[in-house]
Structure 1
Amino acid sequence: MPIRIADSLPARRTLEAEGVIVMGETEAARQDIRPIRIALLNLMPDKITTETQIARVLGATPLQVELELLRISDHVSKNTSAGHLAEFYRPWCEVKGEKFDGLIVTGAPVETMPFEDVTYWDELRRIFDWSQDNVHRTLSVCWGAMAALHHFHGVEKHNLSGKASGVFRHHNRAPASPWMRGLPDVFDVPVSRWSEMRREDLPEGRGLQVLAESDETGLCLIDDPAHNALHMFNHLEYDTLTLAGEYARDEGGYLPQHYFPSDDPKAHPVNTWRGNGHILFGNWINETYQTTPFELGDIGKR
């Protein structure tokens, strides 16, 4: 089934060119089906790239997905035009009375800052609390995952001496988990971050389960059933050239490991994680669909 996004969203042209089935609002209205409603709280500066990446993996699932783009209410983006935000994004303050089957919270380029120093930290905490009564399942990514674990469980993050960047092999620690269904015992995941959270800092007795981790870069994916949430520190949604673009943007700061053939930044990288990303996001969408109430208004009644 297709993903439902605005007809004029830039991501639409990219996805259609790749063969992803995209549905407009008029077509969606003719289908006698309740789409699964997913909100994307996009904290990344380049919002168009991120919304395209997330829409791509959601659009590959067999369900009709209605994607709602959200932003922090009072934060002004410096890298995305005001026109794009005004046309396609709704501030959270406008939707906090609504219900969603799923919420995805992205990363943000504030990893080295204390959480409390981030200008929108107070509103993000309110969003996390709001999700417990208004969202059926949440998926947090990169810094968003660290923020959620810090908010709900008090876990501290640790700044790295250098950027963890590249494509790293990860171990599937819970192959029987519905979130890991279909993923191999060892699989590749792109990593791009300046900080980390550590297994030894996870509190006991909270039900947190490590689903995937790497010998080189540590924790990757954590199940948080008490809050109906998955926390992903890395980036299975990345395009083939995303890490190359970051390397060029940083003017050769940190060469992504296990990414460029023969570690040659002029060589074209090979995508070894695309299928893993589709499996993980597909599992999340499927579990959300299987367990969400039929009536949106019943979400949060536990």
Structure 2
Amino acid sequence: MLEHAASGEAGFAETAPPPRFEAAAPAPRLRIGLLNNMPDTALVQTERQFRRLIGGDVELSFFSLASVPRGPLARAHLDRFYAPHTALASAGLDALVITGSEPKAARLDAEPYYADFTGVVDWVAQGTVSTLFSCLAAHAAVLHLDGIERRPMATKLSGVYSCATSRVHPLLAGLSPVMPVPHSRWNDLPEAGLLAKGYAVLRRSDAIGVDLFVRDASSLMVFLQGHPEYETDTLAREYRRDIGRFLDGSRDTFPDLPENYYTDDAAAQLDAFADRARRHRAPALHADFPAMDATPPRPAAWQDGAARLFRNWLALVAANRALRMASEAVA
């Protein structure tokens, strides 16, 4: 029997070896770019904010528009860590985040960087799987793409606002139907104008209008009027900056306190300082501004939702990249 078994006879049929399956190669890491147009004072902070939301599981590269005016310290940082926007087309990016910038001109198309910016917008429409436009970048993009003009508001919109889902979309998967979102802007986009041009509004508020909207064509364009990337103290730092500008005469009106942001005790202290500053306006008074740790904001209730929003966006980028690669392989 042993001989028969060894030879494969007497009922011991020889069988083919089991098939070998090659493990599928892991998908390459997403390559995400950040085109950071923020002013010098917020350049590194904005870089840190988006780096936190995008996470460490992607290849993140930094780019800048040469036409955005810079001081020597910011220029040195950009020269060391950033590539020029002209390198975007050869960077092999899957997606791009484009930040806004502090407005300097009454019209966006009069900003010194507008021509370079619109060239990038034209490229991303075909050159990336998706692009996310933040605040003023969203305003400039829809002006270029569809001629939608932003509208100036009587006062700056600043604070944390409840924004409600208005349309089901994978970007909002797992998020509560109403989410707090920081906003900080002087201008607004008309919801009716966006809808008329085919944009889909995903989240909005009766108090502040559109928060999040998209344009889904060959490349998914995501537009944010708010700032989900903000850290806990970002609005406080902006408020302090704007008070300094009032005290030194750079702006005519005292800034409003950010809404739904400070604790009640902090708001009372800041309101008392505001009354004093309006009566005795002087640059030296800035030294008496209440300390940041003495006037704390409320906990940053928007940050978990912001992290989920960006995870959803990256998942969409990965899925759409896979579809695009499969389509190219068939072609």
Give the TM interval when normalised to the shorter protein. Answer: 0.7 to 0.9
Output the CA distance in 2 between the equivalents of 1:196 and 1:80: 32
2:259 is paired with a residue of what secondary structure?
coil
Q: TM-score, normalised by structure 2?
A: 0.75
1:292 is paired with a residue of what secondary structure?
helix
Q: What is the Cα deviation at residue 94 of structure 1?
A: 2.6
Give CA-to-partner distance per residue, 1:215-249, whole Å, 9 cap, x none: 21111111110251010000000000000010111
Where does 1:1-302 land on structure 2 (aligned, <5 Å)?
34-45=28-39, 46-59=42-55, 64-78=57-71, 80-110=73-103, 113-174=106-167, 176-204=168-196, 206-226=197-217, 227-251=219-243, 253-262=255-264, 263-264=267-268, 265=270, 266-269=294-297, 270-293=299-322
What amino acid maps onto 1:65 in structure 2? V
Where relative contact order (Cα < 8 A, 6+ residues apart) is larger, the structure is 1
Q: What is the Cα deviation at residue 95 of structure 1?
A: 3.1
1:122 is paired with a residue of what secondary structure?
helix
- Higher mean C-alpha deviation, range 98-107 or range 109-118: 109-118
Q: What is the Cα deviation at residue 148 of structure 1?
A: 1.1
- Unpaired runs of 5+ in structure 2? 1-24, 244-253, 271-293
Output the CA distance in 2 between the equivalents of 1:219 and 1:66: 31
What amino acid maps onto 1:207 in structure 2? G
1:100 is paired with a residue of what secondary structure?
coil
Output the CA distance in 2 between the equivalents of 1:79 and 1:154: 35
Output the CA distance in 1 between the equivalents of 2:237 and 2:187: 20
Tell me which residue corresponds to 2:247.
Answer: none
CA change 1:209–1:98 in 2 (3 A) is: same
Output the CA distance in 2 between the equivalents of 1:80 and 1:109: 18
Q: What is the Cα deviation at residue 279 of structure 1?
A: 1.0
CA change 1:279–1:140 in 2 (3 A) is: same
Work out the percentage of aligned pairs sharing the same amino acid. 29
Q: What is the Cα deviation at residue 294 of structure 1?
A: 8.3
Q: What is the Cα deviation at residue 188 of structure 1?
A: 0.2
Give CA-to-partner distance per residue, 1:186-208, whole Å, 9 cap, x none: 1100010011101122252x431
Indicate the RMSD between aligned Cα atoms, in angstroms. Answer: 2.5
Output the CA distance in 1 between the equivalents of 2:73 and 2:60: 19
- For the 8 Å contact 2:37–2:68, the answer to whether it is kept is no
- For the 8 Å contact 1:138–1:230, the answer to whether it is kept is yes
What amino acid maps onto 2:29 in structure 1? P
Output the CA distance in 2 between the equivalents of 1:268 and 1:236: 19
- For the 8 Å contact 2:104–2:111, the answer to whether it is kept is no
Q: What is the Cα deviation at residue 253 of structure 1?
A: 1.8
What amino acid maps onto 1:109 in structure 2? E
Output the CA distance in 1 between the equivalents of 2:73 and 2:183: 24
Q: TM-score, normalised by structure 1?
A: 0.82
Which one has the largest radius of gyration? 2
Q: What is the Cα deviation at residue 268 of structure 1?
A: 1.3
Tell me which residue corresponds to 2:5.
Answer: none
2:149 is paired with a residue of what secondary structure?
coil
Q: What is the Cα deviation at residue 149 of structure 1?
A: 1.2
1:96 is paired with a residue of what secondary structure?
helix
- For the 8 Å contact 2:105–2:111, the answer to whether it is kept is no
What amino acid maps onto 2:106 in structure 1? M
- For the 8 Å contact 1:190–1:238, the answer to whether it is kept is yes
Output the CA distance in 2 between the equivalents of 1:294 and 1:80: 43
Q: What is the Cα deviation at residue 81 of structure 1?
A: 2.4
- For the 8 Å contact 1:111–1:195, the answer to whether it is kept is no
1:202 is paired with a residue of what secondary structure?
helix
Please state which structure has a larger fraction of its residues in helix: 2
Output the CA distance in 2 between the equivalents of 1:98 and 1:133: 14
Q: What is the Cα deviation at residue 76 of structure 1?
A: 3.4
Output the CA distance in 1 between the equivalents of 2:45 and 2:309: 20
